[in-house]
Amino acid sequence: MTLDTIEDKIHTIVHMDSSDKKYLDKCIREKMDTYKVEYKLPDLTCKHCEKKIDNITVDLTEILFQNIVKA
């Protein structure tokens, strides 16, 4: 069986065994995590209480959609 078209590939995935789907999903997730990009603000110290603030992650998808809503 050849998978020449996107329709052939989709049909194969839709009809594959559930254990194979789980394995495929696991492999895709691992590959995505390998190339995952995270945006973080630099660690800083609060000027008022002098408590260290670290690990500030920035979700660019959320910021994008908030800006679309504002527009």
What residue ranges do the domains of the chain occupy? 6-70
Q: What phi-psi label fits residue 51: left (phi over 0), alpha (psi between -120 and 50 degrees) or beta? A: beta
Per-residue pLDDT tens over the stretch 14-36: 999 999 999 999 999 999 888 87
pLDDT of the residue at 25: 94
Token pair for 68? 């679309």
Read off the pTM. Answer: 0.47
Q: Give per-residue burial for 7-40: e unless 16+ CB within 10 Å, then b.
A: eeeeeeeeeeeeeeeeeeeeeeeeeeeeeeeeee
